């Protein structure tokens, strides 16, 4: 006998636009809340069986270009009985007005209340978005704690890279999806559709149970965590017999079957990226030990050169964008990148369309690529990431790039017309010393000298950008201790002095850095367990918002909240951050399977301490990380032998009616 839901879901969602519109003249950048972008979709509420609200938990200018949300938005809206709309974090000025006037968290597409949807899906690229999650849930009128929600509330579903350890937000979410979302959202939609068609039997608990049984949706309420007297986790176990012991990641193997976004969103307000972005492959086997994205997205899956060409043609014609970004974790590693770039450069020669590789490895960039990327005369920014200043530290992190490689690559760029490049490094890496960091200054000086010599010009610049190292789950460095912020800040001060020691060279070098404090908090959140949720809530209650933005981030607010909350559990901030874990410790995410073998990760951690470099398994024999056997697949290495089609030159791009330049 089915049990009817005691609190029926709303039949229709009314727009909050009449209340919202009068508030917009009082806030900064009101255009970001208006909606109606080219590519946006508004569907009939009553004609939809399953309704999704999709969120990137940051401001519109950061959230709208997010590739993951755009893909899921389009995939879901292609289904005739499914409706998907977008919502973003509102700035504090609008949040204050919304609370004063009773306006709930809304979607930008039809300004419908988020609480009226069936699923509220949030995609996290960084853990520093957690306080924005709490703001959105609370503004929506959804109970903050998952345990307090009723059948009238949407399922709050987390995804994205941070979802590979959702334990710090386990109290606030109903479920999390690990891995790729394209197929996962369709499976979840089918489960919700069937449950609703049956009359919502068993209520919210039954729906979550059906999701958990897929073995690829993690529902925290169905798992109990036991702790040892010293604060470490003893075990994480299911609290009912019909849910799996381990939850596995979803992997979309055939990228050609998912050529999204076909109709990219064209922003009305200024955003961080304004380009048509094509993901040319997914996954990476370079084996950089700090890189969570490279580890959790294995195996490598390439999009064919023909599909890329078709996506670029259709995406540009629809959007009117003038830049094409060929995205991946290391775009120059695509087995057909040369043909791809030359084909696209030839196809759009004489137009104002430019190509960019936002992620380029030092040892994969060459003169042919440089010439193709600059063929149309527009040179987009070039960023190279040696990551470590010394050769020793690059062996520790498995970033196999020599100083000579870097100089040769940067000179190639300068001699092909670029006048500025950006070099990205990290500070606070395992085993790092002051000397490792100071070698960054030597490298930057070499770059300027070589660039001036090769071009005969002093109009050569480079920017050194430094980020703080954060140990991430499912990487060999998941056991590593973090460096204290004052140590990192001290090294950065020494580095700045070393860069400016030679004034002639120093004035050509820009220096940007993030101090050690935000990195330490990100470390707390990335490797935290469920007890950290109380810290997040306390920070949010004390005004924490937009913690990924330096002007809104307060280190003291996080330190104070941790000092207030964590001792009650017998732990503290240092316990989560500056403490090294041992081999046998149960990590908060051990029950969440990224496909990687934990023993292999531990061995790679030991190899890093021995400064042993691991080869790229894409071109060498398998070294048993565990992904391919677990997924019954093989790494895709190409080339396909196909050429980019069509290769018809494009003489000016047609803009769609009402399109944006």
Q: Give the C-alpha separation, 87 to 1, whole Å.
A: 38
Cα first-last separation, the chain: 58
Q: Write down the pLDDT at residue 650.
A: 47
Coil, helix or strand at residue 397: helix
In this predicted model, what pLDDT tens digit does every residue of 110-162 receive, in sequence order? Answer: 999 999 999 999 999 899 999 999 999 999 999 999 999 999 999 999 999 99
> What is the DSSP-derived secondary structure letter of residue 360?
B
Q: Give the C-alpha separation, 589 to 591, whole Å.
A: 5
In this predicted model, what pLDDT tens digit does every residue of 281-290 receive, in sequence order? Answer: 999 988 999 9
Could you tell me which residue, 192 or 352, shows the higher pLDDT?
A: 192
In this predicted model, what pLDDT tens digit does every residue of 373-395 receive, in sequence order? Answer: 877 666 767 888 999 999 999 99
Whose tokens are 């040769």? That residue is: 408
Q: Write down the pLDDT at residue 80.
A: 97
In this predicted model, what pLDDT tens digit does every residue of 439-465 receive, in sequence order? Answer: 999 999 999 999 999 999 999 999 999
| Sheet strands (E) in 480-524 | 509-513
Whose tokens are 């968290």? That residue is: 105
Of 25-29, 430-434, 630-634, which range is least confident? 630-634
Q: Give the C-alpha separation, 167 to 162, whole Å.
A: 10
Q: Give the C-alpha separation, 220 to 170, whole Å.
A: 6
Single out the residue of 186, 152, 161, 24 nearest to residue 97, CA to CA.
Answer: 24
In this predicted model, what pLDDT tens digit does every residue of 490-547 receive, in sequence order? Answer: 999 999 999 999 999 999 999 999 889 999 999 999 999 999 999 999 999 999 999 9
Segment 610-616 shows an average pLDDT of 90
Q: Write down the pLDDT at residue 221.
A: 98
| Alpha helices (H) along 320-362 | 337-347
What is the average pLDDT value for the chain, to the nearest integer? 91
Q: Write down the pLDDT at residue 648.
A: 44
pLDDT category of residue 352 using cuts at 50, 70 and 90: confident
Single out the residue of 189, 182, 238, 196 nearest to residue 211, CA to CA.
Answer: 189
Q: Write down the pLDDT at residue 657.
A: 36
Segment 600-628 shows an average pLDDT of 88
Q: Write down the pLDDT at residue 382.
A: 83
DSSP string, 448-462: HHHHHHHHS-S--EE
């Amino acid at each position: 006998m089915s049990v009817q839901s005691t609190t029926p879901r709303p039949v229709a969602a009314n727009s909050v636009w009449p209340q919202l519109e009068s508030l917009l003249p009082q806030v900064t950048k009101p255009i970001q809340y208006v909606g109606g972008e080219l590519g946006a979709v508004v569907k009939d509420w009553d004609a939809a069986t399953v309704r999704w609200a999709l969120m990137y938990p940051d401001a519109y200018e950061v959230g709208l270009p997010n590739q993951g949300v755009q893909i899921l938005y389009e995939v879901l809206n292609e289904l005739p009985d499914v409706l998907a709309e977008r919502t973003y974090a509102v700035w504090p000025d609008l949040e204050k007005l919304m609370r004063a006037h009773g306006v709930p968290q809304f979607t930008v597409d039809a300004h419908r209340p988020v609480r009226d949807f069936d699923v509220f899906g949030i995609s996290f690229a960084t853990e520093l978005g957690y306080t924005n999650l709490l703001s959105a849930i609370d503004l929506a009128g959804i109970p903050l704690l998952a345990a307090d929600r009723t059948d009238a509330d949407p399922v709050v579903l987390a995804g994205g890279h941070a979802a590979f350890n959702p334990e710090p937000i386990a109290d606030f979410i109903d479920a999390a999806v690990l891995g790729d979302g394209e197929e996962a959202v369709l499976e979840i939609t089918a489960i919700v559709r069937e449950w609703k068609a049956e009359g919502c039997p068993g209520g919210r608990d039954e729906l979550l149970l059906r999701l958990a049984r897929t073995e690829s949706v993690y529902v925290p309420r169905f798992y109990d965590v036991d702790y040892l007297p010293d604060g470490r986790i003893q075990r994480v176990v299911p609290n009912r017999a019909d849910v799996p012991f381990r939850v596995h990641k979803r992997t979309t193997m055939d990228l050609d079957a998912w050529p999204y976004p076909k109709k990219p969103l064209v922003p009305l307000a200024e955003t961080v990226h304004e380009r048509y972005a094509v993901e040319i492959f997914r996954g990476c086997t370079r084996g950089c030990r700090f890189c969570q994205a490279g580890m959790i997205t294995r195996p490598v899956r390439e999009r064919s050169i023909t599909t890329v060409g078709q996506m670029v043609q259709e995406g540009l014609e629809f959007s009117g964008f003038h830049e094409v970004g060929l995205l991946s974790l290391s775009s120059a590693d695509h087995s057909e990148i040369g043909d791809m770039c030359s084909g696209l450069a030839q196809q759009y020669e004489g137009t104002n369309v430019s190509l960019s590789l936002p992620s380029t490895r030092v040892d994969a960039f060459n003169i042919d690529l440089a010439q193709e990327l600059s063929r149309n005369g527009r040179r987009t920014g070039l960023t190279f990431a040696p990551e470590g200043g010394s050769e020793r530290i690059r062996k520790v992190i498995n970033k196999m790039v020599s100083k000579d490689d870097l100089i040769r690559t940067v000179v190639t760029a300068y001699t092909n017309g670029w006048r500025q490049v950006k070099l990205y490094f990290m500070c606070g890496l395992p085993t790092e010393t002051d000397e490792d960091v100071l070698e960054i200054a030597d490298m930057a000086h070499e770059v300027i000298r070589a660039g001036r010599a090769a071009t005969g010009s002093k109009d050569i610049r480079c920017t050194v950008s430094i980020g703080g190292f954060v140990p991430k789950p499912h990487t060999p460095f998941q056991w590593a201790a973090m460096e204290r912020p004052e140590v990192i800040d001290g090294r950065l001060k020494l580095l700045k002095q070393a860069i400016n020691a030679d004034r002639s060279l120093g004035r050509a070098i820009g220096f940007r850095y993030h101090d050690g404090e935000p990195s330490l908090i990100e470390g707390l959140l990335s490797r935290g367990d469920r007890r950290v949720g109380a810290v997040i809530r306390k920070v949010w209650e004390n005004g924490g918002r937009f913690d990924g933005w330096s002007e809104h981030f307060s280190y003291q607010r996080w330190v104070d909240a941790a000092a207030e909350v964590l001792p009650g559990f017998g732990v503290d901030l240092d316990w989560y951050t500056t403490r090294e874990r041992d081999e046998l410790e149960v990590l908060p995410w051990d029950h969440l399977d990224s496909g990687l073998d934990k023993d292999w990760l531990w061995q790679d951690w030991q190899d890093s301490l021995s400064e042993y470099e691991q080869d790229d398994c894409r071109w060498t024999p398998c070294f048993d990380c565990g992904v391919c056997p677990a997924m019954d697949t093989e790494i895709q290495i190409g080339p396909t032998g196909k050429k980019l089609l069509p290769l018809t030159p494009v003489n000016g791009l047609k803009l769609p009616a009402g399109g944006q330049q």
